Amino acid sequence: MNAPPAAKQIGRSLPRLEARAKVTGRAEYTHTMRLPGMLSCKLLRSTVAHGRIKSIDVSEARKLPGVFGVYTGEDVKKVIPDPYYGPAFHDQPILALGKVHYVGEPVAAVLAEDPHVAEQAAQLIAADYEELPAVFDEVEAAENKTIVHEGLKPATTFADLKHLKGAKNTNCALDFKLRRGDADKAFAGAAQVFEHTFKTQKVLHLAFEPHASIADYKDDGVTIYSASQGPSFVRTEIARLLGWPENLVRIKVPYLGAGYGGKLYIKLEALALALSMLARRPVKVALTMDEVFYTITKHPSTFSIKTGVDKDGRIVARQCDVWWNGGAYADIGPRVTQKSGFTASGPYDIDNVSIDSYALYTNLPPAGALRGFGIPQLVWAYESHTDMIARALDRDPLDFRRQNLLRDGRPHATGTILKDVAIEKVLDTIAERMNWDAPFDRGSGTIRRGRGLAIGLKAVISPTTSVAIVNVSADGSVTVYCGTIDMGQGSDTAMAQMVGEVLNMQAESIRIVPRDTDVTPYDMGTLGSRSLFHMGHAVRLAAEEAKAKIAQLARDVGEPEGSNAPLRDLFVKKYGMQAGNIVGTGIYKPDYTPPDPATGQTPNATPFWMTAGAGAEIEVDTETGQLRVTRLVNVADVGTPINPKVVETQLSGAALMQLGFTLFEKMQIDGGQVTNASLADYKIPGIHDVPAAMENEAVEAYQSNGPFGAKGVGELATFGVSPAIANAIEDAVGVRLTELPLTPEAVFRGLRAKAGQPLEDE
Amino acid sequence: MKVEGEISVGAPRKEVFSRLSDAHFFASCIDGVSDLTEIDSTHYSALFATKIAYMRFNFKVNVEMSRIAPPSEIEAKVEGTPMGAVGRLTATATTQLGERDGQTDIRYAIDATLTGKLGSIGQPVLKAKAKEMEKQFAARLQAAFASGAESAP
Amino acid sequence: MTPFELIEPQSLKEAVALIDPDDPTVRPIAGGTALMLMMKAGVFQPSRLISLRKVDNDLSGIKAEGGALTIGALTPLAELEHSAEVAKYTPVIPRIMPRLSNVRVRNVATVGGALAHGDPHMDLPPVAMALAGRVRIVGAGGERELPVEDLLTGYYETALSPNELIASLTIPAQGKARAAYMKVTAGAADDWPALGVAVAVEAEGGRIGSARVVVSAATPKATRLASVEKLLAGANLDDKTLKAAGDAAAEEAEIIGDVRGSAAYKRELLRVTMGRALRAAAGARP
């Protein structure tokens, strides 16, 4: 090759390749795209939480000048006879059929060239419902008194859901069990037993770009432009709904204005498809920010956790009961229930573990994946609980954790041996940065200071597959085809760095093509911190294959071993002109052993473990309950950082997102209605909310089966934030909060209760 | 949204009960209710108009007197739809009457839910509106009975 | 959002004439940050909006004259944040700006809008009220002036007739008065406040001459607290007075509970914050 040998690409803090296009407004997003002849869709949404549809009168809406058409679920059935979708259950109709299951569910759609006309017409549709009793709380839903869905319809994708096919009179969309040792016996023999219950609230992703999809249906194929984190899944599901082979379905994804798990699986794609089939024109469905509140959210949860310790403070048994509030449609909730559920006992070495994790239907907007896939809800509970035990035992919380920590080489509750997880190093680094052993200024007067820490463990979701292609053109330039969606996390940059490392090229010179399922090969989805590992391997393998083929080409054209001939010359020698390609492909799917359905035990639960934690220093104003986070330390094991700058911003970004979920974000719901469904009323952290001191560190670590020793980072810094702050509050003022968010009023009420003067409501 | 309160009026319980169970009298105590029409002895329809600053809201409502237990309890269920916007108003109002020295203590509780566009925003302003309406309701009720009543919301 | 007519008159007189006092679907619009939220939510569907953006320039800008600051109604909040005049005459105002919503809102939201909207969660009106601000109002029948406290009559309710517009806000120089505004949020720092307390105090040698005390956000409208002002007049600025002021405020204020806090909690917040605001004012530069 003629290029001077590139500097090492791994470990470069390279600015993101697409940054310039984005900050200059040149990057393309689905939300701002238009196609010739395109119609816009606006929706009528349900005003009851649970009800039978008695009638939908669209006549007034149809009469409005400029309206192209008005459609209901019955119309959808004319073009898609079985219009139900979902990754785990085929439970979600494209438009409501027969029943509505939550306030905000799409009931009818209006198409018009002018979206404002469509919106006006949607207000003229009159839907009449027979209201049914509704259930909103996950623990109440588990009692199965009010049933959300009359029968369960699992998709065929997941083997562990098959037994739920046709199940009736239940809201439970998965009951995952894990049994290790004999928890009952161990509790009976324990010196002390502690039991607490923790709750989390309903929050949502709030990506900058609301959901948007455009479908352009033709009889011989359909193209869907979509703000999606998983175009391969969308293609498969759209092909299934159409009864078509996948090669007639094309999904194109421009840049995403963030995703955080909210743009996975089918969101608006099936609706856009059905409407384009009915209208025979391209149709765009683009949500407003308030509609996002009715689309997908994070799981609220209730977690009852019980721990037995022996006389030396060793944890001998832990029992976990977790209820996940999945809302009206399962989405990926059953996977959250299992794949996160199995780590509910935390990063501790416990011989006797019992876990029951339940996915529940309720009459609320659906819940799915959100940056952490259920892990932040679990860590919140088990690390609050662990701290409470340490305090009750009069032990230093750090010391108590160290004593019980699950170390590399030891079996996790699943039976899988922990490997390549720098869990001790992460905990030690937090302690070191917090100066844990030094005396701590506890404040005085009405300002009391406290500190807390927490650490979490996650197993990456498995098994999943990624495929990549590296294409070397005859001028020596390189193009990468991979389905990982760059939604701001810098994956294109990281992929280019890995390919550049193999091919000895500058990452900046490598082009990553826009995602298009006609062009880019299969990828399971950009989710769960899996891409850097899985797609990283796929692009590495593809680049290595290309490299081997280049060497072969050099031999074919008679270049001596070790020749430095420019690549272009090799092609010219071979093809007589600048022509031809070298194509390398890579497929990566790690080994995996499914858990035993009765015990959750498996020797190989995951290809890699993720660990991260947080330390927080806070000040509590004892007169108002107001809280100030003065220092937030985020430490994670990311293996080898491919791009240290991006790693740092992923850590700080995740921590700040979780800080909002910890301190104030909450979807307020009254009778099933979200009452703060706008950015005017639902606030996320702003620049003034960033802790005065914020430190982010990736500890020195190496993932031995990872690409270049690396593994994922996107979710990590969400793990420890909530419990670290709750632990710091107890440390500061002796008030223990067990429900998120940790509002000033909750702290104040705790202070008053502790003083024997509970605040009485007016 | 829950609104609760208690007022005392200077009239015997029997009299208060009998007037309160008359839908026309009851409706006259609520600001903005018009066109009350009896469907049958326990079902009524009406129009309800309210205004918050420059914004005006009109609802078609159906009222069911779901429980009339003399001399102490009346429960009404209200269902309505806003005109010109997608939404739904549902409310259950319970009134309990207690006797004290020839006076009647009226305890009322309204549990209302507003769904659709109106419900998705502006909860603080709706709550403020509800509080204002509650005050007017209490004032009208007191004015309708003997004077000397006291308010303790 | 439904289609509507947008008119951009060149003068205030023209703007006033375009408003139909009997048609609530005709509204003036300045920065639009509040009105647009109502329109996007579909709770307000205008038939005609009268944009004030092109109205002659005496409605925008800050003038210091006659010992008072006159701020045109169309002046964006960001201009108050950065004006040397405002910093000199009413130093409390620039101090409240960084946490008043965000820079994008402050760049377009106007002083007149903040006052005319009547939302008790706004940060500027209680401060203007504590500083004895007055608004000049232009209507079909001529001009009039009102103290800010008489302008605000209820939640989203003002003393403005439908065809009256605020032309300017006049605030006397703080002079020796020291002022403070405490914004207490239950969430993000730039969220709507759960409670606002604005105070302006004239004191000499630890003895209070007079004080103007306003509570907002927790109440249906920004409200002066007469009992607190009375208690403070002539009192020594000591812990006992501050505590009594807090108790009197908690006693007098009409407080509404909502998602930002229960009424009981907000009352306790007011009890504490009142004393803090007074103390902050005492320590503030005049």
User: So what's the pLDDT on residue C285?
Assistant: 63
> What is the least distance, in Å, from the CA of C20 to any CA of chain B?
12
From chain A, pick out residues whose CB is under 8 angstroms from the CB of C119.
none
Burial class (CB in 10 A: 0-12, 13-18, 19+), A229: buried
Q: Does residue A600 contact residue A711 with C-beta atoms inside 8 Å?
A: no
**Contacting partners of chain A (3+ CB pairs under 8 A):** B, C
Helical axes A375-392 vs A397-404, angle rounded to 10°: 110
Residue B117 is nearest to which of C42, C155, C259, comparing CB atoms?
A: C42
**Cβ–Cβ < 8 Å for A73, A58:** no
Query: Would you list the DSSP string of A300-340?
Result: PEEEEEEEEE-TTS-EEEEEEEEEEE--SS-TTHHHIIIII
* Whether residue B71 has a cis bond before it, omega within 30° of 0: yes
Query: Minimal Cα distance from C219: which residue of B?
Result: B128
pLDDT above 70 covers a percentage of chain A that reads 99
H or E stretch including C229?
helix C226-232
Kindly give the interhelix angle for A721-733 and A375-392, rounded to the nearest 10 degrees.
Answer: 30
| Residue C182 contacts A, CB cutoff 8 Å | no
Lowest mean pLDDT among A290-299, B85-94, C119-128: B85-94
Task: Specify the 3-state DSSP secondary structure of C139.
Answer: strand
The bridge status of strand C5-7 relative to strand C48-51 is parallel
Closest Cβ opposite residue C41 in set B53, B117, B131: B117
Nearest by CB: A670 against B1, B85, B88? B1
How many angstroms separate the CA of residue B131 from the nearest CA in chain C? 9
> What's chain B's Rg over C-alpha atoms?
15
| Residues A123, B86: C-beta atoms closer than 8 Å | yes
Q: Is the pLDDT of residue A648 over 80?
A: yes
Nearest CA in chain B to C34: B122
Q: Among all chains, which residue has been given the structure tokens 């320039």? A: C57
A563 in contact with chain B, both atoms CB, cutoff 8 A: no
CB contact under 8 A, A683 and C190: yes
**Confidence bin at B101 (pLDDT 50/70/90):** confident
* pLDDT at residue number B153: 38
Mutate to test the interface with A, among C259, C270, C273, C276 (most CBs of A within 10 A): C259
Are A481 and A465 in contact by the 8 Å Cβ rule? The answer is: no
| Residues in C 63-102 with any Cβ partner in B closer than 8 A | none
CB contact under 8 A, A47 and B88: yes
Q: Residue A206 pLDDT more than 50?
A: yes
φ and ψ at residue C159, rounded to 5 degrees: -80, 0
> To the nearest whole angstrom, how far is the Cα of C64 from the nearest Cα of chain B?
33
Cβ-based neighbour number of residue A27 at 10 Å: 16
Q: How many other β-carbons are positioned within 10 Å of the β-carbon of residue B139?
A: 15
Per-residue model confidence as pLDDT tens digits over A150-195: 999 999 878 788 888 889 999 999 999 999 999 999 999 999 999 9
- State the pLDDT confidence band at B122, using cuts at 50, 70 and 90: low
Within 10 angstroms of residue B76's Cβ, the number of other Cβ atoms is 21
**B87 neighbourhood in chain A, CB within 8 Å:** 47
Cβ(A30)–Cβ(A93) below 8 Å: no
> Residue A498: pLDDT above 50?
yes
- Residue C46 CA, chain-centre distance (Å), reads 25
Under the banding of pLDDT at 50, 70 and 90, the label for residue A14 is very high
A70 in reach of chain B (CB within 8 A): no
CA nearest to B120 within chain A: A675
Quick one: pLDDT at residue A109? 98
Q: Are C131 and C175 in contact (CB under 8 A)?
A: no
For the residues A343-368, what does the mean pLDDT come to?
98
Strands A92-93 and A84-85: antiparallel
Q: Which two tokens stand for residue A555?
A: 């031999």
- Mean pLDDT, range A14-31, rounded to an integer: 94
Q: Which residue has the tokens 């969308």?
A: A234
Report CB contact under 8 Å: A681, B121: yes
Q: Check CB contact under 8 Å for B115 and A103.
A: yes
- Contact, A595 vs A342, CB < 8 A? yes
The pLDDT of residue A1 is above 70: no
User: In the structure encoding, which two tokens stand for residue B123, read together?
Assistant: 């909860």
> Is the Cβ of C91 closer than 8 Å to some Cβ of chain A?
no
Q: Is residue B2 within 8 Å of residue B9, measured between CB atoms?
A: no
Do the chains contact at A676 and B121, CB–CB below 8 Å? yes
Q: Does A290 touch chain B (CB under 8 A)?
A: yes
- Please tell me whether the peptide bond between A463 and the residue prior to it is cis, using omega within 30 degrees of 0: yes
Please name the residue of chain C whose CA is at the shortest distance from the CA of residue A670: C259
Which ranges of A584-705 would DSSP assign to H, the alpha helix?
A: 644-663
Task: Establish whether the linkage from the previous residue to A685 is cis, with ω within 30° of 0.
Answer: no
- pLDDT for B147 beyond 60: no
Confirm or reject contact between A668 and chain B (CB < 8 A).
yes
Angle formed by the axes of helices A644-663 and A721-733, nearest 10°: 50
* Chain B residues in contact with A108 (beta carbon < 8 A): none
Q: CA A402 to CA A382: how far, in whole Å?
A: 15
**pLDDT at res. A736:** 98
Among all residues of chain C, which has the CA nearest to that of A288? C40
Q: Can you read off the two tokens belonging to residue A709?
A: 């020793």
Size of interface A-B (CB pairs under 8 A): 54
Predicted confidence (pLDDT) per residue in A468-484, tens digit: 999 999 999 999 999 99
pLDDT in tens, A405-428: 999 999 999 999 999 999 999 999
Mean pLDDT of A324-335: 96
Q: Which pLDDT band holds residue A5 (cuts at 50, 70, 90)?
A: low
Q: Which residue of A has its CA nearest to C267?
A: A762
In Å, how far is B48's CA from the nearest CA of chain A? 19
% pLDDT > 90, chain B? 29
Q: How far apart are the first and last CA of chain A?
A: 79
CB contact under 8 A, C43 and B128: no
Burial tier of C91 (Cβ tally within 10 Å: 0-12, 13-18, 19+): middle
Cβ-Cβ contacts under 8 Å for A41 (sequence gap 6 or more): A109, A110, A111, A118, A271, A272, A275, A283, A284, A285
Which residues of A form the catalytic set? 715
Confidence label for B86 from pLDDT (cuts 50, 70 and 90): confident
Chain B partners within 8 Å of C37 (Cβ) = 121
Nearest to A675 among B86, B87, B123 (CB): B123
Residue carrying structure tokens 């905000």: A104
Question: Which tokens hold the place of C122?
Answer: 């706004």
Q: Give the pLDDT band (50/70/90) at residue B146.
A: low
Closest by Cα among A600, A152, A603 to A338: A600
Q: What are phi and psi of A424, to 5 degrees?
A: -70, -40
The per-residue pLDDT string of chain C (286 residues; one tens digit each, 9 = 90 and over) reads 678 999 999 988 899 999 998 898 999 999 999 998 888 877 888 999 999 999 876 788 999 988 899 999 999 999 999 999 999 999 999 999 999 999 999 999 999 999 999 999 999 999 999 999 999 999 988 999 999 999 999 988 999 998 999 999 999 988 889 999 999 999 999 999 999 999 999 988 889 999 999 999 999 999 999 999 999 999 999 999 999 999 999 999 999 988 899 999 999 999 999 999 999 998 866 5
Chain A contact set for B1 (CB, 8 A): 670
CB atoms near residue C143 (< 10 Å): 11
pLDDT band at A6 (very low <50, low <70, confident <90, very high): low
What H or E segment, with its residue span, contains residue A627?
A: strand A627-637
CB contact, 8 Å: C45 with chain B?
Answer: yes
DSSP-assigned letters across all residues of A165-225: TT-BS--EEEEEEEEES-HHHHHHH-SEEEEEEEEE-------SS--EEEEEEETTEEEEE
Which candidate from C43, C154, C256 shows the least CB-CB separation from B122?
C43
How many CB pairs below 8 Å do chains B and C form together?
54
Residues B53-63 have a mean pLDDT of: 87
CB atoms A672 and B123 under 8 Å = no
Counting every residue, how long is chain B?
Answer: 153
Instruction: State how beta strands A67-72 and C68-72 pair.
Output: unpaired
The torsion region of residue A714 among left (phi > 0), alpha (psi -120 to 50) and beta comes to alpha
**Nearest-CA distance A297 → chain C (Å):** 20
Report d(CA A492, CA A190) in Å as an integer: 52
In this structure, the number of other CB atoms found within 10 A of the CB of residue B99 comes to: 14
Confidence of residue B150 (pLDDT cuts 50, 70, 90): very low
Question: Which chain B residues are closer than 8 Å to A45 by Cβ?
Answer: 86, 116
pLDDT for the residue numbered B152: 39
Closest chain C residue to B127, measured at CA: C258
Instruction: Please tell me the number of Cα atoms within 13 Å of C284 on its side-chain side.
Output: 30
Q: What is the mean pLDDT of chain A?
A: 96
Percent of chain A with pLDDT over 90: 96
